[in-house]
Amino acid sequence: MLMSKFAENLKKYRTAKGISQEEMAKLIGVHSTHLSRYERGLSSPSIEVATKIAEVLEVAVDTLIFGDQDEQSKQRIDDKELLDLFKKVQTFNLRQKDTVKDLISAFILKADLQQKLVQ
């Protein structure tokens, strides 16, 4: 799973930068066949090579492995409406965000207490 995500992200970010496989291979110090294998998910680079790839593409190594923050959020939160609400909350000022956190915490506490009373 992570290998295929890395391969997909590597190709996505490389092509977005307009860098050919040959050029990228030279920039990171590997043969273009190795880069092709990385992009097809047939092999994985060493930590050193992954770091060079991230530097050339100007992204974090974890972004190459797991995707950008939006992709990661989508993988963690199944409810699209809830995800959209959280995105809107991110535009709030610090005080408003704290209020939302307090409301959610209170709601979760109430639900936990109700569940314990039922048991």
Q: Do both 44 and 100 map to the same domain?
A: no
pLDDT at 18: 96
pLDDT at 75: 58
Task: Give the structural domain span for 103.
Answer: 77-118
The tokens describing 38, both together, are 């990385």
Q: Do both 46 and 100 map to the same domain?
A: no
pLDDT in tens, 37-89: 999 999 999 999 999 999 999 999 988 988 776 665 555 667 778 878 888 99
Q: Do both 67 and 95 map to the same domain?
A: no
Q: Do both 111 and 65 map to the same domain?
A: no
Q: Do both 65 and 87 map to the same domain?
A: no
Q: What angle do CA 10, 14, 19 make, to 5 degrees?
A: 150
pLDDT at 36 over 90: yes
Contact at 8 Å (CB) between 2 and 8? no
